[in-house]
Chain A
Amino acid sequence: QLQLQESGPGLVRPSETLSLHCTVSGGSITNSNYYWGWIRQPPGKGLEWIGSVYHSGTTYYNPSLSSRITISVDTSKNQFSLRLSSVSAADTAVYYCARHPVLWFADPGFDIWGQGTLVTASS
């Protein structure tokens, strides 16, 4: 079965760039029916969608974060990645990667999630 696994540093210094990867196993990231997304959750708070990427490299970003984020895909590694620049304490959160279908395939919803990884922005 399809599984997603986040990886990357758990500590990032303020003003630096957060970089995370999500590795897809048990299936191909080139599946044309799905987008691949990032969602975060500050400790004790709710969920915030960051952005999504298609295997072709097409991306959609949260407008509130778009100036600081880059999401990319590496089909050779079956992996997609998040870069968030100029981090501050407000970016401390559990970061999840997840899958959602393209509209012509199914109604949108994140149906498979990684376990999440806590990233703390602190000096």
Chain B
Amino acid sequence: IVLTQSPGTLSLSPGERATLSCRTSQSVSSSYLAWYQQKSGQAPRLLIYGSSNRATGIPDRFSGSGSGTDFTLTISRLEPEDFAVYYCQQYDTTPTSFTFGPGTTVDIK
């Protein structure tokens, strides 16, 4: 399964809404789609698992949605610390494997 993320770069201002897209080449279970945030020089951080469940400690301005082949990560109001790279990731059962998307960079406009 191939993951495609769009846009490649999203230039926004603090306080604006960010909408990030992840499309899969085949339909995937919504339980098997996750989102991560990665800041420069840091390890990725799990934001969303099961398409729409926030991980522990993740602010409620982050939300995930979608099903089938189209999934979305929304940041309702960008805070200065939200400017980073965001990756989607899917899990496959046959064979058991994980695949990451190429990432979307959210930078300051």
Q: Which residues from chain A sit less than 8 Å from chain B, CB to CB?
A: 37, 46-49, 52, 60, 62-63, 96, 98, 100, 106-111, 113-116
Main secondary structure of the interface of B (DSSP, over half): strand
- Known: A63-B97, A107-B31, A108-B34; 20 extra A-B contacts, CB below 8 A, are A46-B100, A47-B87, A47-B89, A49-B98, A62-B97, A96-B44, A107-B34, A107-B50, A108-B91, A109-B34, A109-B55, A109-B89, A110-B34, A110-B36, A110-B46, A111-B46, A111-B49, A111-B55, A115-B42, A116-B43
Chain B, range 25-56, C-beta contacts under 8 Å to A: 31-32, 34, 36, 42-46, 48-50, 53, 55-56
CB neighbours of B99 from chain A (8 A): 49
Is B95 interfacial (CB 8 A cutoff)? yes
Q: List 23 A-B contacts (CB under 8 A).
A: A47-B87, A47-B89, A47-B100, A47-B103, A52-B96, A60-B95, A60-B97, A62-B97, A63-B95, A63-B97, A107-B31, A107-B32, A107-B34, A108-B34, A108-B98, A109-B34, A109-B48, A109-B49, A110-B36, A110-B44, A111-B55, A111-B56, A115-B42
Once A107-B31, A115-B43, A116-B43 are accepted as A-B contacts, the answer to whether A46 and B98 lie under 8 Å apart by CB is no
Main secondary structure of the interface of A (DSSP, over half): loop
A100 to B43, CA, bound (A): 15
The answer to whether A108 touches B97, judged by C-beta atoms less than 8 angstroms apart, is no
The answer to whether A113 touches B102, judged by C-beta atoms less than 8 angstroms apart, is no
Partner of B53, one of A47, A60, A107, A115: A107
B91 to chain A, nearest CB (A): 4
The answer to whether A46 touches B43, judged by C-beta atoms less than 8 angstroms apart, is no
A16 to B60, CA, bound (A): 47
A116 to B45, CA, bound (A): 13
Is B66 interfacial (CB 8 A cutoff)? no
Q: Which residue of A lies closest to B101 (CB)?
A: A46
Binary interface encoding of chain B residues 61-83 relative to chain A, with 1 for a CB under 8 A from any of its CBs, else 0: 00000000000000000000000
